[in-house]
Amino acid sequence: MSDIRKEFKDILNNAESYLMQQEQLFGGIIYKTSASKIEKTSAPLAEFQSVNSLDEFNAQISSCKKCSLGDTRKNFVFGVGNPNAKVMFVGEAPGADEDAQGEPFVGRAGQLLNKILEAVQLKREDVYICNILKCRPPDNRDPMLKEMELCSPYLSKQIELIKPKFIICLGRIAAQWLLQTSDSLTAMRQKVYNYQGAKLIVTYHPAALLRNPNWKRPTWEDMQLFQKLYNEQM
């Protein structure tokens, strides 16, 4: 009887792993809106047109309560890195470690991101790292459409101030939202897009690599594509 229970448990674990992989690749939510909505939500807010630095911008928006996440967060996670970075990494939202420390990608996923940077001869202080959402969704759930609509202008202003040459989307959600597409992560990889004057590349979120090490190789392929373009342009 114990062998049957063990076999059944293994089947459930394998099924759960498979479903998590499919969700990472194809998603359960499609972040897609009309062209007019894209233009409206991606434009920096008019009230911040006179803001000329990231520190000034952070000070002005760090008390944001435009959505309910402002009431549940511990810290507003603005972003970190070189204000003149040529390369910008964009994830979806802060996690528990990020919420606690007020800095993006500081947990195990952040440590892996540091290794990814080292692999292409970059350091954390060379690049800029942020998320679409500046506050952690409860229980690390996926960001809601309304939350991203409200927060996207903040990201657009960050991009406007930094003027990166390259944007690397970490994970399906960030890529689908910025590109306004329902394409799977697999379909978006190994392509070069234009976004607010920067070349945009899509790869896996470091947290996904921790769950599925098999995705480390395709992530390295994506970073090789980036490195080739970076070396050609820089």
- What CATH number is associated with residue 84? 3.40.470.10
Across 95-104, average pLDDT:
97
The strand pairing partners of 203, in sequence order, are 170
Residue 220, domain member (yes or no): yes
Residue range(s) defining the domain that contains residue 78: 31-233
Q: Give the length of the chain.
A: 234
Q: Is the pLDDT of residue 4 over 60?
A: no
Residue 22 maps to a domain: no
Residue 14 maps to a domain: no
Of the two residues 185 and 25, the one the predictor is more confident about is: 185
Up-side HSE of residue 7: CA atoms within 13 Å toward CB?
4
What is the C-alpha separation between 137 and 95, in angstroms, rounded? 8
- Given a cut of 70, whether residue 34 has pLDDT beyond it is no
Is residue 180 in a domain? Answer: yes
Q: How many C-beta neighbours within 10 Å does residue 195 have?
A: 18
26 in helix, strand or coil?
helix
Q: What is the pTM of this model?
A: 0.83
pLDDT of residue 2: 53
Q: Is 50 helix (H, G, I), strand (E, B) or coil?
A: coil
Average pLDDT of the segment spanning 46-73:
94
What is the β-pairing status of strands 166-170 and 87-91? parallel
Give the DSSP letter string of 136-171.
PPGGGPPPPHHHHHHHHHHHHHHHHHH--SEEEEES
Q: What mean pLDDT comes out for the span 20-44?
A: 46
pLDDT tens digits along 59-71 = 999 999 999 999 9
Mean pLDDT over 199-206 rounds to 98
Is residue 25, in this structure, part of any structural domain at all?
Answer: no
Determine the pLDDT at residue 3.
Answer: 57
| Spatial distance between the Cα atoms of 200 and 193, rounded to a whole number of angstroms | 5
Q: How far apart are CA 14 and CA 51, in angstroms?
A: 50
Residue 80 structure tokens: 């970190």
pLDDT of residue 15: 43
**Residue 113 scores a pLDDT above 70:** yes
Given a cut of 70, whether residue 144 has pLDDT beyond it is yes
Cβ-contact 217, 149 below 8 angstroms: no
Q: Which residues of 48-63 are buried (b: 16+ CB within 10 A; e: fewer)?
A: beebeebeebbeebee
Asked if pLDDT for residue 95 goes beyond 90, the answer is yes
Residue 110 inside a domain? The answer is yes
- In this structure, which amino acid lies at residue 63? S
Reported as a pLDDT band with limits 50, 70 and 90, residue 48 is confident
Residue 6 lies in a domain: no
Q: How many domains does the chain have?
A: 1
Q: Judge whether 55 lies within some domain.
A: yes
Q: Are residues 164 and 198 in contact, defined by beta-carbon separation less than 8 angstroms?
A: yes
Which pair of tokens denotes residue 71?
């009431």
pLDDT in tens, 170-202: 999 999 999 999 999 999 999 999 999 999 999
**What is d(CA 210, CA 192) in angstroms, rounded to the nearest whole number?**
25
